[in-house]
Amino acid sequence: MYFDQSIETLPQSQLRQLQSDRLKKLVKYVYERVPFYKNKWDEAGIHPDQIKGIEDLHRLPFTLKTDLRDTYPFGMFAVPMDQVSRIHCSSGTTGKPTVVGYTKNDLDLFAEVNARSLAAAGAKPGMMLHNAYGYGLFTGGLGLHAGAERLGMNVIPVSGGMTDRQLMILQDFGPEVICCTPSYAQRLTEEIRKRNIPVDSLNLKYAVLGAEPWTEVIRHEVEKGLNIQATNIYGLSEIIGPGVSQEAVEERGTGSHVWEDHFFPEIVNPDTGEVLPEGKDGVLVFTTLTKEAFPVIRYWTNDICSLYYDRDSQRTHIKMGQIKGRADDMLIIRGVNFFHTQVEALIEDIPHLAPHYQVIVSREGAMDQVEIKIELDPDYQKETLPAISAEDNLSNQENIRQLTNHLAKKIKDNIGITMKVEIKPGNSIPRSEGGKLSRVVDLRKGK
């Protein structure tokens, strides 16, 4: 379902024209209002008059997270404080949080893009939304809340954590839609199974999951466990929060539409900053075309993915593939780069394993070591583990040994790194308490 069919299906030539018109206004706006941009562009010898359309965007310098930190807290705001209606912060996953502001119009836009996202995810006016994203400085809770209200839904502002209460609400209130992080959806799926809550006693139909990287493996787990259709929502506070892009429910697995009438995306080479063609992986960079309080030009998100048009989709907006990870979360082990999502993707066709895992990196002497701890699938574990602990059932121990070797070989063949694999019983690896879950433990840090 569309929230705004005319804009979501606007022919690309018209979208380009709209973006160009908006960009031309924007560059003048920020040049006049934000000293950071004026100084940086003057230094680079580029003037807003030289930006004649979206095709000139690549001539402008990038804006980096460090630039936001250097102007902390409000130095990048383009309006006086009395025109700012709200402040949010990034979650601070990678250091000191950055501070962002919204005018009334920006909040309106925030609601609109989240309404579009929810509609694309399957939600309809009149449905009830269980919003388990954190409310507060984090943009997730309030962003989706406003979007749901704009769409005409009934929102339960549950926020993150307090899993018992979440389960009670899911059973008693019967929401059709849930939004939360994918790791928390896993947690809820697991609790429902453990407590023998029949899935058909829940009324859930759709889940809108984001704020951290995830793969098809987790999608299958939560779709099956909750009997729902789960889609990806992406966003970051520096651009607006959630609702920068959204996967359409009928096109699951083929990428998320970036609402590019407001957020213009580019993919650039992480080393040279050169703009890369459709389909190539690189760093995602965004320019906000319509924001007032905190517009950003060519913001270097550090997220790695690709952009491409899906000519089979009714929506004309460009798609982004699933985020592989953040450039600064990329692990470099003995010269090979990898993201934890690559390990997650490899267990897709190993049904005996569950997508609860941790990647532990350590250093022994001069050598970096990686260990993967991963849990057995609970159904498989029931048959297998009691026998293992009895130590006398060699055939089951042999099964685990084979599974371990199988995964280690798959990792070596696909990622190119020898990793130690340890298969663990259920519930031995940390779960999400409601927010983002860190799946990598890097013991080398500070060494």
Q: Which residues here bind ligand ADP, judged by CB under 6 A? A: 90-94, 138, 210-213, 232-237, 301, 303, 323, 326
* Smallest separation, CB 381 to ligand ADP (Å): 29
Long-range CB contacts (< 8 A, 24+ apart) of 362-368? 362/443, 362/444, 363/443, 363/444, 363/447, 367/334, 368/333, 368/334, 368/444
CB of 414 to ligand ADP, least distance (A): 21
Please, which residue, 78 or 236, has the CB nearer to ligand ADP?
A: 236
Question: Edge to edge, what strands does the sheet with 263-268 contain?
Answer: 263-268, 282-288, 299-305, 325-326
Q: What is the DSSP letter of 151?
A: H
Q: Please, which residues have CB within 8 angstroms of residue 42's CB and are 6 or more apart in sequence?
A: none
The residue (of 138 and 357) whose beta carbon lies closer to ligand ADP is: 138
> Least CB distance from residue 380 to ligand ADP, whole Å?
28
Residue among 48 and 243 whose Cβ is closer to ligand ADP = 243
Minimal distance in Å, beta carbon 279 to ligand ADP?
19
**Distance (Å, rounded) from C-alpha 99 to C-alpha 378?**
42
**Closest approach of ligand ADP to the CB of residue 416, in Å:** 23
Contact 243, 114 (CB under 8 A): yes
Distance CA 24, CA 297 (A): 12
Cβ-based nearer residue to ligand ADP, 231 or 396: 231
CB of 301 to ligand ADP, least distance (A): 5
Kindly tell me which of 341 and 384 has the beta carbon lying closer to ligand ADP.
Answer: 341
Helix (H) or strand (E) holding 396: helix 394-415
Q: Contact, 92 vs 139, CB < 8 A?
A: no
Q: Are 293 and 77 in contact (CB under 8 A)?
A: yes
Three-state SS annotation for 267-319: EECCCCCCECCCCCCEEEEEEECCCCCCCCCCEEEEEEECEECCCCCCCCCCE
User: Could you identify the residue written with the tokens 């939004």?
Assistant: 179
Query: Could you tell me where the DSSP H helices lie in 180-294?
Result: 182-194, 216-226
Tell me whether strands 319-320 and 256-258 are parallel, antiparallel or unpaired: antiparallel
How many other CB atoms are there within 10 angstroms of residue 103's CB atom?
19
Shortest Cβ distance from residue 209 to ligand ADP (Å)?
A: 7
Give the CA distances from residue 391 to residues 300, 385, 396, in Å, rounded to whole numbers and listed in that order: 53, 10, 9
- Measured CA to CA, the distance from residue 215 to residue 73 in angstroms comes to 34
Give whichever of 20 and 288 is closer to ligand ADP, judged by the CB atom.
288
Are 204 and 237 in contact by the 8 Å Cβ rule? The answer is: no
Length of the chain in residues, anyone?
447
CB of 236 to ligand ADP, least distance (A): 3
Nearer to ligand ADP, 275 or 327 (CB): 327
Q: How far apart are CA 8 and CA 418, in angstroms?
A: 45
Strand pairing class (282-288; 263-268): antiparallel
Are 235 and 143 within 8 A, CB to CB? yes
Give whichever of 101 and 213 is closer to ligand ADP, judged by the CB atom.
213
Smallest separation (angstroms) from ligand ADP to the CB of 210: 3
By C-beta, is 123 or 236 nearer to ligand ADP? 236
Q: Which is nearer to ligand ADP, 30 or 320 (CB)?
A: 320
- Rounded least distance, CB 92 to ligand ADP, Å: 5
Question: Nearer Cβ to ligand ADP, position 310 or 422?
Answer: 310
Q: How far is the CB of 321 from ligand ADP (least distance, A)?
A: 10
> Which of the 8 DSSP states describes residue 24?
H
